Structure 1
């Protein structure tokens, strides 16, 4: 089991490995506009994703869909990606190491903007507000809010902000780390854990279609989602931010919010 600190350390190691390899001449140096030049040349925008977190990114009938998926596809058009997005599937804990190793050029996977992650990557402007919430079985009367978490077993997705938050603020809680979002919710539904801690939008959506669980009203945190890119791609970051601004101005962004969140309340 690994926490956010572990995979950030792995990301730093990956970054050093890339630098060393570049120095040896195995990979080309990447200028600020290298990704944008690649998009112009290939027509594709390479983006890493762990598509297991509805309504942001998930698979339906063999195709990726969700808020992040459609927003990034719109951003890709603004960047000039005539062939669209080349999605690279990878577990959440491997996203930052994969970005640093040049496997893709942006992460779009409902990732919170944190100070720890900023040490390794550059983030876009906030594209959606979020926060951590508690999910329990609907019949669970023992957990009514954050004050009831100490001593309880809590499922979390490995590599997410939930892990360090629980260990820091609820040290007596038994943290059960699992690989996927589905596994995490399954832990609660089957009673293997007393609760799960995860992002509010995904938890709310799941609870709407699974009445055996419920999301508590009191949030643990209020945080923001952002797209992550390498720090040496400052021009790409600026272009992505400009695209987000344009999509908000022309109404595209709000249509996606209405589609994936507002209609699901």
Structure 2
């Protein structure tokens, strides 16, 4: 009985070690995103594409890994990391002190910030100070929600699940403005002549890749890969393709 118990414990121990080794050196990056935020991530012809998508694929290539994508709503990204459903989340996520309490972040990979999108003929909103008392659409789970709660408590927030819905409410006049990330707002305004982005930004912030706190080595690897694609020109090509071409 003692020998059998030792054998069982030995097998269990070996499996545990193998499991740990696999967790430390995976050949796959399990990445979650909310593919509704052009030009960072969106669906085209049934496939994921966008700046974040191609950036992660480039980083994975440097690491010699493949990418396994999971598409979920933005509000589920951080909870999904905490539940270990995936290893990292890349979806135009701002690096914030609040989020850093529960997940790790890579070095910043793109500068952003919150801006205001309004109809082009809107003369009532010329800057952040004009938001109070207005009806403003925001996407659930984004920093826009908490920011307006804290800085503009008199704003009537209209919280929606999808980025496109947030913009559409501005176009049809159901809300006075939308508050969202600068790159996506700029891109939408370029394709819709009836709307504009207010020049004065609400915030200036940085985007980062969110990583589970129990995977510190992965965060280091990702930072190393980011440095490499910036050094070899890959990063600049992606920025030109998704943010600067045609501007």
**What TM-score, normalized by structure 2, do the two folds share?**
0.90
Judging changes above 3 Å, is the alpha-carbon distance between structure 1 residues 121 and 34 closer, same or farther for their aligned structure 2 residues?
farther
- Provide, for residues 142-190 of structure 1, a one-character-per-residue CA deviation record: whole Å limited to 9, x for no partner: 1111111000000000000001111111111101110010010011011
Once the two structures are superposed, the pairs formed by residues 27-176 of structure 1 within 5 Å of their partners are 31=20, 34-39=22-27, 44-81=28-65, 84-176=66-158
Equivalent-residue separation in structure 2 for 1:192 and 1:199 (angstroms): 20
- Preserved CA contact (<8 Å) 1:137 1:189: yes
After superposition, the CA RMSD in angstroms is 1.4
Aligned residue pairs total: 231
Shift of 1:34: 4.5
Which of 232, 235, 243 is the matching residue for 1:250?
A: 232
Shift of 1:35: 4.0
Equivalent-residue separation in structure 2 for 1:35 and 1:205 (angstroms): 38
Shift of 1:239: 0.2
Extract unaligned runs of 5+ from structure 1: 1-27
Q: Quote the residue 2:215 is aligned against.
A: 233
Equivalent-residue separation in structure 1 for 2:177 and 2:117 (angstroms): 6
- Preserved CA contact (<8 Å) 1:112 1:225: yes
Q: Secondary structure at the match of 1:261?
A: helix
- Preserved CA contact (<8 Å) 2:24 2:215: no
- Preserved CA contact (<8 Å) 2:117 2:178: yes
Shift of 1:104: 1.1
- Preserved CA contact (<8 Å) 1:36 1:79: no
Q: Secondary structure at the match of 2:77?
A: helix
Judging changes above 3 Å, is the alpha-carbon distance between structure 1 residues 200 and 264 closer, same or farther for their aligned structure 2 residues?
farther
- Provide, for residues 188-217 of structure 1, a one-character-per-residue CA deviation record: whole Å limited to 9, x for no partner: 011110000000000000000011111010
Equivalent-residue separation in structure 1 for 2:203 and 2:160 (angstroms): 21
Equivalent-residue separation in structure 1 for 2:47 and 2:191 (angstroms): 20
Q: Quote the residue 1:19 is aligned against.
A: none
Indicate yes or no: 2:200 matched with 1:212. Answer: no
**What TM-score, normalized by structure 1, do the two folds share?**
0.84
- Preserved CA contact (<8 Å) 2:41 2:51: yes
Equivalent-residue separation in structure 2 for 1:201 and 1:61 (angstroms): 22
- Provide, for residues 14-66 of structure 1, a one-character-per-residue CA deviation record: whole Å limited to 9, x for no partner: xxxxxxxxxxxxxx7975x6445221xxxx32100000000000011111110
Extract unaligned runs of 5+ from structure 2: 1-15
Equivalent-residue separation in structure 2 for 1:197 and 1:220 (angstroms): 9
Shift of 1:141: 1.0
- Preserved CA contact (<8 Å) 1:205 1:264: no
Could you say which structure has the larger radius of gyration?
2
Equivalent-residue separation in structure 1 for 2:189 and 2:195 (angstroms): 6
